[in-house]
Amino acid sequence: MQPAMYSGRQWLDAIAIANRGLNYGDGLFETMRVHCGELPLWPRHRARLQEGAARLGIVLPDASFIQARIEECIANVDADVLKLLVTRGDGGRGYAPPADVDPVWALSLHSLPQAISTGLRLHVCETRLAPQPALAGIKHCNRLEQVLARLEVQRAGCDEGLMRNTESHPVCATSANLLAHRNGRWWTPPVETCGVAGVLRGWLLGQGLVEVAALSMDEVLHADALALCNAVRGILPVSMLGSRTWVASPAIHDLQVQLAMAYPMFSAAAVTA
Protein backbone atom coordinates (compact mmCIF):
# COMPACT_ATOMS: atom_id res chain seq x y z
CA MET A 1 0.00 0.00 0.00
CA GLN A 2 1.20 3.49 -0.84
CA PRO A 3 1.29 5.86 2.12
CA ALA A 4 -1.89 7.94 2.40
CA MET A 5 -1.31 11.63 3.10
CA TYR A 6 -3.81 14.25 4.22
CA SER A 7 -4.05 17.93 4.98
CA GLY A 8 -6.78 18.03 7.60
CA ARG A 9 -9.54 15.99 5.91
CA GLN A 10 -8.24 16.50 2.36
CA TRP A 11 -6.21 13.95 0.42
CA LEU A 12 -2.70 15.27 -0.19
CA ASP A 13 -0.47 14.59 -3.21
CA ALA A 14 2.85 15.64 -1.79
CA ILE A 15 4.64 16.82 1.33
CA ALA A 16 5.44 20.54 0.98
CA ILE A 17 8.99 21.73 1.49
CA ALA A 18 7.47 24.14 4.04
CA ASN A 19 6.10 21.26 6.13
CA ARG A 20 6.95 21.92 9.77
CA GLY A 21 7.63 18.27 10.48
CA LEU A 22 10.31 18.30 7.79
CA ASN A 23 11.85 21.57 8.95
CA TYR A 24 11.61 21.37 12.74
CA GLY A 25 10.42 17.87 13.67
CA ASP A 26 7.21 19.71 14.62
CA GLY A 27 4.97 16.67 14.84
CA LEU A 28 3.98 13.46 16.57
CA PHE A 29 3.80 9.82 15.60
CA GLU A 30 2.48 6.44 16.68
CA THR A 31 3.83 3.09 15.51
CA MET A 32 1.14 0.46 16.00
CA ARG A 33 0.76 -3.28 15.76
CA VAL A 34 -1.94 -4.41 13.32
CA HIS A 35 -3.60 -7.73 14.13
CA CYS A 36 -6.35 -9.31 12.00
CA GLY A 37 -7.56 -5.99 10.60
CA GLU A 38 -7.53 -4.24 13.97
CA LEU A 39 -5.31 -2.10 16.19
CA PRO A 40 -5.85 -3.69 19.61
CA LEU A 41 -3.88 -0.94 21.41
CA TRP A 42 -5.40 1.98 19.46
CA PRO A 43 -7.16 3.63 22.47
CA ARG A 44 -3.79 3.94 24.24
CA HIS A 45 -2.03 5.21 21.12
CA ARG A 46 -4.83 7.73 20.55
CA ALA A 47 -4.63 8.93 24.15
CA ARG A 48 -0.86 9.51 23.89
CA LEU A 49 -1.32 11.28 20.54
CA GLN A 50 -3.94 13.57 22.09
CA GLU A 51 -1.69 14.27 25.07
CA GLY A 52 1.17 15.14 22.68
CA ALA A 53 -1.05 17.38 20.56
CA ALA A 54 -2.25 19.23 23.67
CA ARG A 55 1.32 19.70 24.92
CA LEU A 56 2.61 20.97 21.54
CA GLY A 57 -0.51 22.97 20.67
CA ILE A 58 -1.07 20.91 17.51
CA VAL A 59 -4.67 20.70 16.33
CA LEU A 60 -5.44 17.09 15.43
CA PRO A 61 -7.68 16.21 12.49
CA ASP A 62 -11.19 15.11 13.39
CA ALA A 63 -10.92 11.89 15.45
CA SER A 64 -13.65 10.02 13.59
CA PHE A 65 -12.08 10.96 10.25
CA ILE A 66 -8.69 9.58 11.35
CA GLN A 67 -10.34 6.45 12.69
CA ALA A 68 -12.21 5.83 9.43
CA ARG A 69 -9.00 6.23 7.37
CA ILE A 70 -7.18 3.82 9.70
CA GLU A 71 -9.96 1.26 9.33
CA GLU A 72 -9.77 1.49 5.53
CA CYS A 73 -6.03 1.14 5.71
CA ILE A 74 -5.87 -2.02 7.81
CA ALA A 75 -9.16 -3.76 6.88
CA ASN A 76 -7.44 -6.61 5.06
CA VAL A 77 -4.16 -6.61 6.93
CA ASP A 78 -3.35 -9.70 8.96
CA ALA A 79 -0.16 -8.74 10.82
CA ASP A 80 1.80 -5.60 10.13
CA VAL A 81 2.85 -2.23 11.55
CA LEU A 82 0.86 0.95 10.93
CA LYS A 83 2.58 4.29 11.36
CA LEU A 84 0.55 7.43 11.95
CA LEU A 85 2.56 10.62 11.50
CA VAL A 86 0.92 13.97 12.36
CA THR A 87 2.75 17.23 11.65
CA ARG A 88 1.52 20.66 12.69
CA GLY A 89 1.16 21.57 9.01
CA ASP A 90 2.94 23.91 6.63
CA GLY A 91 4.65 27.24 6.92
CA GLY A 92 4.73 30.02 9.41
CA ARG A 93 7.38 32.64 10.01
CA GLY A 94 10.34 30.61 11.14
CA TYR A 95 9.64 28.76 14.38
CA ALA A 96 6.40 30.68 14.95
CA PRO A 97 3.49 28.46 13.86
CA PRO A 98 0.89 30.01 11.55
CA ALA A 99 -2.36 30.99 13.25
CA ASP A 100 -4.69 28.70 11.33
CA VAL A 101 -3.14 25.68 9.77
CA ASP A 102 -4.40 22.24 8.86
CA PRO A 103 -2.31 19.42 10.28
CA VAL A 104 -0.57 17.39 7.59
CA TRP A 105 -0.66 13.70 8.45
CA ALA A 106 -0.02 10.32 6.92
CA LEU A 107 -0.68 6.62 7.34
CA SER A 108 1.81 4.03 6.13
CA LEU A 109 2.03 0.25 6.51
CA HIS A 110 5.33 -1.47 7.27
CA SER A 111 6.44 -5.06 7.69
CA LEU A 112 6.66 -6.50 11.16
CA PRO A 113 10.27 -6.48 12.33
CA GLN A 114 12.00 -9.85 12.24
CA ALA A 115 11.38 -11.95 15.31
CA ILE A 116 14.40 -12.35 17.58
CA SER A 117 14.53 -15.82 19.09
CA THR A 118 17.36 -15.12 21.53
CA GLY A 119 17.74 -12.34 24.08
CA LEU A 120 18.73 -8.83 23.02
CA ARG A 121 22.29 -7.59 23.37
CA LEU A 122 22.19 -4.02 24.69
CA HIS A 123 24.87 -1.40 24.16
CA VAL A 124 25.27 1.23 26.88
CA CYS A 125 24.92 4.40 24.79
CA GLU A 126 27.06 7.45 25.44
CA THR A 127 24.36 9.72 23.98
CA ARG A 128 22.30 10.93 26.92
CA LEU A 129 18.64 11.87 27.10
CA ALA A 130 18.52 15.56 27.98
CA PRO A 131 16.02 16.61 30.66
CA GLN A 132 13.06 18.35 29.02
CA PRO A 133 9.77 17.98 30.91
CA ALA A 134 7.92 19.88 28.15
CA LEU A 135 8.65 17.08 25.68
CA ALA A 136 9.11 14.04 27.95
CA GLY A 137 6.65 11.16 27.70
CA ILE A 138 5.09 12.12 24.36
CA LYS A 139 6.01 10.63 20.99
CA HIS A 140 7.19 13.76 19.19
CA CYS A 141 9.35 13.93 16.08
CA ASN A 142 12.51 15.42 17.64
CA ARG A 143 14.43 12.17 17.70
CA LEU A 144 18.07 13.03 17.03
CA GLU A 145 19.10 11.67 20.44
CA GLN A 146 17.65 8.29 19.46
CA VAL A 147 19.22 8.48 16.00
CA LEU A 148 22.66 9.18 17.48
CA ALA A 149 22.19 6.38 20.03
CA ARG A 150 21.17 3.99 17.25
CA LEU A 151 24.35 4.84 15.34
CA GLU A 152 26.26 3.83 18.49
CA VAL A 153 24.31 0.55 18.64
CA GLN A 154 25.17 -0.17 14.99
CA ARG A 155 28.86 0.51 15.57
CA ALA A 156 28.84 -1.75 18.65
CA GLY A 157 27.13 -4.55 16.69
CA CYS A 158 24.38 -4.84 19.30
CA ASP A 159 20.60 -5.19 18.96
CA GLU A 160 19.48 -2.20 21.00
CA GLY A 161 20.88 0.50 23.25
CA LEU A 162 20.34 1.51 26.85
CA MET A 163 19.89 5.27 27.12
CA ARG A 164 20.68 7.14 30.33
CA ASN A 165 19.73 10.59 31.55
CA THR A 166 22.29 13.28 32.42
CA GLU A 167 22.53 11.83 35.94
CA SER A 168 23.58 8.47 34.42
CA HIS A 169 20.35 6.74 35.44
CA PRO A 170 19.02 4.25 32.89
CA VAL A 171 15.76 5.48 31.32
CA CYS A 172 14.86 3.33 28.31
CA ALA A 173 16.13 1.76 25.09
CA THR A 174 16.19 3.75 21.83
CA SER A 175 12.75 2.44 20.81
CA ALA A 176 11.44 0.50 23.81
CA ASN A 177 10.91 0.91 27.54
CA LEU A 178 13.08 -0.81 30.12
CA LEU A 179 11.81 -3.41 32.62
CA ALA A 180 14.04 -4.64 35.44
CA HIS A 181 13.14 -7.52 37.76
CA ARG A 182 14.40 -7.06 41.32
CA ASN A 183 13.30 -8.65 44.59
CA GLY A 184 10.47 -10.47 42.89
CA ARG A 185 8.92 -7.39 41.22
CA TRP A 186 9.15 -5.60 37.88
CA TRP A 187 10.26 -1.96 37.75
CA THR A 188 10.46 0.65 34.99
CA PRO A 189 12.14 4.08 35.18
CA PRO A 190 10.01 7.27 35.28
CA VAL A 191 9.63 9.30 32.06
CA GLU A 192 8.67 12.69 33.51
CA THR A 193 11.88 14.47 32.43
CA CYS A 194 12.95 12.38 29.43
CA GLY A 195 12.01 9.21 27.58
CA VAL A 196 8.71 8.10 26.06
CA ALA A 197 5.68 6.82 27.98
CA GLY A 198 5.34 3.61 25.97
CA VAL A 199 1.88 2.30 25.26
CA LEU A 200 2.72 -1.23 26.40
CA ARG A 201 4.51 0.16 29.48
CA GLY A 202 1.25 1.99 30.23
CA TRP A 203 -0.73 -1.24 29.97
CA LEU A 204 1.72 -3.11 32.23
CA LEU A 205 1.54 -0.30 34.81
CA GLY A 206 -2.25 -0.22 34.60
CA GLN A 207 -2.41 -3.96 35.24
CA GLY A 208 -0.19 -3.62 38.29
CA LEU A 209 2.38 -5.94 36.70
CA VAL A 210 5.11 -3.29 36.74
CA GLU A 211 5.86 -0.34 39.05
CA VAL A 212 7.73 2.93 38.42
CA ALA A 213 11.06 3.52 40.16
CA ALA A 214 14.22 5.44 39.39
CA LEU A 215 16.96 2.84 38.98
CA SER A 216 20.71 3.31 39.15
CA MET A 217 22.97 1.70 36.57
CA ASP A 218 24.16 -0.63 39.30
CA GLU A 219 20.61 -1.70 40.14
CA VAL A 220 19.92 -2.47 36.48
CA LEU A 221 23.16 -4.42 36.11
CA HIS A 222 22.26 -6.44 39.20
CA ALA A 223 18.64 -7.07 38.18
CA ASP A 224 17.51 -10.71 38.23
CA ALA A 225 16.11 -10.24 34.75
CA LEU A 226 15.97 -7.42 32.22
CA ALA A 227 13.48 -6.94 29.39
CA LEU A 228 12.37 -4.33 26.88
CA CYS A 229 8.80 -3.64 25.86
CA ASN A 230 7.13 -1.80 23.04
CA ALA A 231 3.78 -1.80 21.29
CA VAL A 232 5.08 -3.51 18.16
CA ARG A 233 7.24 -6.32 19.57
CA GLY A 234 5.74 -6.92 23.00
CA ILE A 235 8.14 -8.02 25.74
CA LEU A 236 11.65 -8.98 24.71
CA PRO A 237 14.24 -10.52 27.05
CA VAL A 238 17.65 -8.89 27.36
CA SER A 239 20.60 -11.31 27.37
CA MET A 240 23.47 -8.85 27.60
CA LEU A 241 24.20 -5.33 28.85
CA GLY A 242 27.83 -4.29 28.59
CA SER A 243 29.70 -7.22 30.15
CA ARG A 244 26.71 -8.51 32.16
CA THR A 245 24.75 -11.45 30.76
CA TRP A 246 21.42 -13.05 31.70
CA VAL A 247 19.91 -16.46 30.90
CA ALA A 248 16.23 -17.07 30.15
CA SER A 249 14.10 -15.99 33.10
CA PRO A 250 10.77 -17.40 34.33
CA ALA A 251 9.83 -13.85 35.41
CA ILE A 252 9.99 -12.69 31.78
CA HIS A 253 8.08 -15.74 30.60
CA ASP A 254 5.34 -15.01 33.17
CA LEU A 255 5.05 -11.41 31.98
CA GLN A 256 4.89 -12.54 28.33
CA VAL A 257 2.12 -15.00 29.18
CA GLN A 258 0.10 -12.32 31.00
CA LEU A 259 0.43 -10.05 27.99
CA ALA A 260 -0.47 -12.79 25.49
CA MET A 261 -3.64 -13.59 27.45
CA ALA A 262 -4.81 -9.99 27.02
CA TYR A 263 -3.31 -9.47 23.54
CA PRO A 264 -2.83 -12.77 21.66
CA MET A 265 -0.86 -10.98 18.93
CA PHE A 266 2.03 -10.90 21.39
CA SER A 267 1.98 -14.65 22.06
CA ALA A 268 5.26 -16.38 21.20
CA ALA A 269 3.55 -18.10 18.27
CA ALA A 270 2.34 -14.78 16.83
CA VAL A 271 5.68 -13.05 17.39
CA THR A 272 7.71 -15.72 15.63
CA ALA A 273 5.10 -16.33 12.91
Q: Among residues 14, 75, 247, 269, which is the contact residue for a copy of itself, using CB under 8 A?
A: 14
Tell me the closest approach of the beta carbon of residue 1 to a copy of itself, in angstroms: 12
Q: Which of 8, 25, 40, 190 binds a copy of itself (CB under 8 A)?
A: 25
- In angstroms, the CA 78 to CA 48 distance is 24
Phi-psi region of 150 (alpha: psi -120 to 50; beta: other; left: phi over 0): alpha
Q: Of 37, 113, 206, 242, which one interacts with a copy of itself (CB under 8 A)?
A: 113
Q: Does 90 bind a copy of itself (CB under 8 A)?
A: no
- The total of other beta-carbon atoms located within 10 Å of residue 139's CB is 21
The secondary structure of residue 167, as a DSSP letter, is T
Residue 143 vs 169, nearer CB to a copy of itself: 143
CB nearer to a copy of itself: give 140 or 181.
140
Does residue 174 bind a copy of itself (CB under 8 A)? yes
Residue 205 main-chain phi, psi, to 5 deg: -65, -45
What is the spatial distance between Cα 171 and Cα 129, in angstroms, rounded to a whole number? Answer: 8
CA distances from 201 to 83, 106, 107 (A): 19, 25, 24
Distance set, CA 198 to CA 44, 63, 69, 157 (Å): 9, 21, 24, 25
* Choices 69-77, 81-89, 205-213, 241-249 (CB under 8 A): range interacting with a copy of itself: 81-89
16 vs 221, which CB is nearer to a copy of itself? 16
Site residues (vs a copy of itself, CB under 8 A): 3, 5, 14-27, 29, 31, 56-57, 85, 87-88, 93-97, 106, 108, 113, 127-128, 130-132, 134-135, 140-151, 153-154, 166, 174-175
